[in-house]
Amino acid sequence: MRRTTRMTTAALLAGTALFGSATAAAADDDKPTEAGTAFRTATAIEQGEKATADASTGDYLYWQFPAGAGRRPTAKATVTLPQASSRHGAATWRLDVFDGLRRRQACASGEPAKRASEQDASVTLTCTLRTVRPWSERWANDPLPGAYYMRVTVTDVPDRDLGLPVKAEVQATAEDAGGARAEGGELGAPLHAAAVAEPEDGWTGSWWSDRWAWTVGGAVLCALAAVGGYTLTRHPRRR
């Protein structure tokens, strides 16, 4: 009886392991393997998801990803270059990020453009945007909730190298900017976000932030200080 139980348990564990491996392999196979060639055909990816695309030197490659209020998005692209023996000089690669209105957004940090020498095997580009705001004035160019576009291309390359095969891998992430960046207001709708999935925290961000932690912590400390002060200053009772 015990032997049968052990065999059954082993079979279940093996089946679970195989199922888990198959699920992981399927999830890995489902990641996007192409890029759009314009804003309208940009391939949609989720935050944290990696996407790849085979292309030619000189192509414009587009992806789009979501970002909600209170988040600081970072776009990253790694381009695997053609073999050095087939290239004829250095080339400058560039990563640009646009919002849902196709306005180019400035990078607060990162290296969005890099010149690759003739011997470099790959080049990595990064762009961290300013914190996404929940609302903005019409005239401002602030990052707002909605879709964001990543565009990867080469801007300076020898003519003879145009058309050589390259491979691009991109990923977009977004970290919480913290309570210091929290503010009121809300857009009526995200900017052109129909093609991308809503972030886990929603378009307007999570209700929780470290501002709440500091507020609650400060209230507790004040209460403890008040109790301690009362204990130290009260008059002793006469018996």
pTM for the complete prediction? 0.75
For residue 122, count CB atoms less than 10 angstroms from its CB and return exposed for 0-12, middle for 13-18, buried for 19 or more: middle
Residue type, 52: T
- The answer to which of 90-104, 180-194, 219-233 has the lowest mean pLDDT is 219-233
Residue type, 40: R
Q: Mention every residue, 6+ apart, whose C-beta is less than 8 A from residue 210.
A: 178, 179, 180
Q: What is the pLDDT of residues 110-146, one digit of tens each?
A: 999 999 999 999 999 999 999 999 998 888 899 999 9
d(CA 107, CA 64): 17
d(CA 133, CA 142): 7
User: Which domains does the chain carry?
Assistant: 30-217 (2.60.120.380)
Residue appearing with tokens 């501002």: 211
Q: What is the pLDDT of residues 160-179, one digit of tens each?
A: 999 999 999 999 999 998 75
CA trace torsion 200, 42, 181, 190 (10° rounding): -70
Q: Is the pLDDT of residue 40 over 80?
A: yes
Q: Kindly state the tokens that stand for 61.
A: 């490659």
